[in-house]
Amino acid sequence: MTKTREHVKENGWEQKVTVARKQLFIADEIALKVRDTCAGVFAATLNEIVELQAFSIAVQQKLPVHIVLFLQQDETLDRAADFRRLAQRIADKIQQQLIFINLTVEFVNRYTLSTDAQWRVA
């Protein structure tokens, strides 16, 4: 997006062209999904839905919520040190948006996934 904005500015098209992201940034999308899930759990608490009672208690008591996300790009980017920097930036943005939850965010890919994980990438 930065290059596109620069191109628009270099050509003097700022008044005619608006550069915007078509999709949500991944951090915003994840934060939105987690926030909506918490809202659903809260609504379930108010409506005394027994199936979700354990989750309701966890949210009310601010028990830790651990989110593990699998982020796969191309092989070069997945192996690079840039993966950890990108993953940390996204995780920080998610945590900033969900400050009301006792939250940790972890990103893995096929190179950083623990061999003890109960699932694998084919």
pLDDT recorded at residue 33:
93
pLDDT recorded at residue 98:
93
Integer Cα distance of 40 and 10 in angstroms: 47
Please name every residue paired with 70 in a beta bridge, in sequence order, or none if there are none. 108
pLDDT recorded at residue 120:
63
Indicate the pLDDT class of residue 101, thresholds 50, 70 and 90. Answer: confident
Pairing mode, strands 65-70 and 103-108: parallel
Read off the tokens for 57: 């208690």
Q: Can you point out the beta strands (E) in the chain?
A: 65-70, 103-108
Q: pTM for the complete prediction?
A: 0.67
56-66 pLDDT tens trace: 887 778 888 88
26-50 pLDDT tens trace: 899 999 999 998 888 888 888 888 8
